[in-house]
Amino acid sequence: MGKTADKIKQIKDNIAAACEKTGRSASEIKIVVVTKSAAIEDVKEVIQLGFTELGENRLPHLTEFSEQIELLLQNKTPDSDLPDRVGWHMIGHIQRNKVRRILKIASVIHSLDTLRLAEEIDKAAAKMKIKPEVMLQVNCSLEPQKYGVPVGAATHLAEQIVTMPNLRLIGLMTMAPLTRNKKTVRACFVRARELFEEIKNGHIAGADFAHLSMGMSQDYEIAVEEGATILRIGSAIFA
Ligand SMILES: *Cc1c(COP(=O)(O)O)cnc(C)c1O
């Protein structure tokens, strides 16, 4: 087994242990492999291992890697163990003038955090005749964060997003604050989960609203324990 495969096995074991602890099933949890710090060869290996959901936080790298992977998949031999396609997730801050270029590549947007950005994505999606999946990024820490709608304003923004005909709101995304304090991280994830349940149970969003994207290399086990359905993991696989 290669180095990358070893690391992924370790991560899967840790996820299984966190699931066991909380009575969850690992099948409820999807890993988005964040490739921003990876070499393209390592990304290829990860795809060969069966991971088909990839994440990037900036457009230039998203463009470059998606083009290279596309070429790889186009030229695969019939007996290859490569999948037919991969899906790209945009997980970083989005400037409105880049929306169209991002939508050409990414099928899921995790980082929707303002009404103006939602309107821009809705408008671009209409022109492109697509219906992208979007997640509302919330700031679940008690301190100001650069991005993410404050918890107190999230429900209202979700209500506005669901009225937009070309967006599919599939859940919430959050980032824990950068701290080694596990209690602080857990409190943040709990807040995100409570908000998620409030929106879901309040029937503010439709049946598509089913995902909680939280947990990165440093904190994915806590995120699993607190209800994450999508983990965004990069450095624990590639560093
Ligand atoms: C980089 C990044 C990740 C992955 O972080 P790692 O610590 O490398 O696992 C997840 N989410 C977002 C939004 C990121 O920018």
Report the separation in Å between the CA atom of 78 and the middle of ligand 1, taken as the mean of its atom positions.
Answer: 34
Cα 188–chain centre separation = 17
Burial of 141 (0-12, 13-18, 19+ CB in 10 A): buried
Secondary structure letter of residue 218 according to DSSP? T
Residue nearest to atom 6 of ligand 1 (CA): 234
User: The whole model's pTM is what?
Assistant: 0.97
Which of residues 2 and 70 earns the better pLDDT score?
70
Of 11, 33, 34, 54, the residue with max ligand 1 atoms within 8 A of its CB, to mutate for a pocket test, comes to 34
Distance CA 93, CA 26 (A): 29
Question: pLDDT by residue (tens digit) across 177-191?
Answer: 989 999 999 999 999
pLDDT of residue 1: 56
Distance CA 100, CA 37 (A): 24
Report the separation in Å between the CA atom of 89 and the middle of ligand 1, taken as the mean of its atom positions.
Answer: 12
Q: How confident is the model at residue 2 (pLDDT cuts 50, 70, 90)?
A: confident
Whether the pLDDT of residue 238 is over 90: the answer is: yes
